[in-house]
Amino acid sequence: MSPEKTRKTEESVDEAALTTTQYLVETAKQLQTEVEALKSEIRKARNPTSTKIGIIFLVPGVLSLVFSIFYNSQVLAFIGLGLTFWGALFFLVKPVRYVKGSLLDSAAFASYSTIDRIIKDLKYKGKSYYLPPYPKDAYLPEYLRGLKDMIVFISADSGPSMPSIEEMAKSKFFLENPKGISAVPPGLGLLAQFEKELGADITKVEMTELCEILPRIILENFHLAKEVQMKLEENQIYLKTVDSIDKELYAAAENLRSVYLLGSPLVSAIACAIAKNTGKIVTIRQIKVSPDAETIEAWYNFIEG
Partner 1 sequence: MNFPLSLSDISLWLAVTAIILLITSELLSSSTEYAGNIVIDRTRLRLAALAVGVSFMITVAIRAIRPF
Taking every pair of C-alpha atoms in the chain, what is the biggest distance, in angstroms?
Answer: 103
* Beta carbon nearer to partner 1, 196 or 285: 196
Three-class secondary structure of residue 156 per DSSP: coil
Q: x/- binding map, residues 260-289, to partner 1, per CB under 8 A?
A: ------------------------------
Per CB under 8 A, the list member of 3, 45, 46, 72 interacting with partner 1 is 72
Q: Does 200 bind partner 1 (CB under 8 A)?
A: no
* Beta carbon nearer to partner 1, 25 or 200: 200
Q: Does 95 bind partner 1 (CB under 8 A)?
A: yes
CB neighbourhood size of 278 (10 A): 17
Q: Does 212 bind partner 1 (CB under 8 A)?
A: no
Q: Does 196 bind partner 1 (CB under 8 A)?
A: no
Which helix (H) or strand (E) segment holds residue 120: the answer is helix 102-122
Q: x/- binding map, residues 226-265, to partner 1, per CB under 8 A?
A: x---------------------------------------
**Closest CB 241 distance from partner 1, rounded Å:** 14
Q: Does 219 bind partner 1 (CB under 8 A)?
A: yes
* Beta carbon nearer to partner 1, 223 or 285: 223
Q: Does 295 bind partner 1 (CB under 8 A)?
A: no
**Closest CB 71 distance from partner 1, rounded Å:** 8
Q: Does 85 bind partner 1 (CB under 8 A)?
A: yes
Q: Which stretch binds partner 1 (CB under 8 A): 21-29, 79-87, 147-155, 290-298?
A: 79-87
Q: Does 223 bind partner 1 (CB under 8 A)?
A: yes
Show the DSSP H helices in 1-48 as ranges: 3-46
Q: Does 69 bind partner 1 (CB under 8 A)?
A: yes
Number of residues that bind partner 1 (CB under 8 A): 24
**Residues whose CB is less than 8 angstroms from the CB of residue 237 and which lie 6 or more positions away in sequence, other chains included:** 211, 230, 231, 270, 274, 299, 300
Instruction: Report DSSP state, residue 114.
Output: H
DSSP string, 160-217: -----HHHHHTT-SEETTTTEEEE--TTHHHHHHHHHHHTS-GGGS-HHHHHHHHHHI
**Closest CB 223 distance from partner 1, rounded Å:** 5
**Residues whose CB is less than 8 angstroms from the CB of residue 235 and which lie 6 or more positions away in sequence, other chains included:** 301, 302
* Beta carbon nearer to partner 1, 176 or 220: 220
Tell me the C-alpha distance between 305 and 153, whole Å: 13
Rama region for 293: left / alpha / beta (φ>0; ψ in -120 to 50; rest): left
**Closest CB 199 distance from partner 1, rounded Å:** 11
Tell me the C-alpha distance between 73 and 60, whole Å: 15
**Residues whose CB is less than 8 angstroms from the CB of residue 84 and which lie 6 or more positions away in sequence, other chains included:** 57, 58, 61, 62, 64, 65
Per CB under 8 A, the list member of 50, 193, 203, 295 interacting with partner 1 is 50
Which of 142, 95, 104, 135 lies closest to 259 in space, CA to CA? 104
Q: Does 68 bind partner 1 (CB under 8 A)?
A: yes
Phi, psi for residue 161 in degrees, rounded to 5: -70, 145
Q: For binding to partner 1 (CB under 8 A), which residues are involved?
A: 50, 68-70, 72-74, 76-78, 81-82, 85, 89, 92-96, 98, 219-220, 223, 226
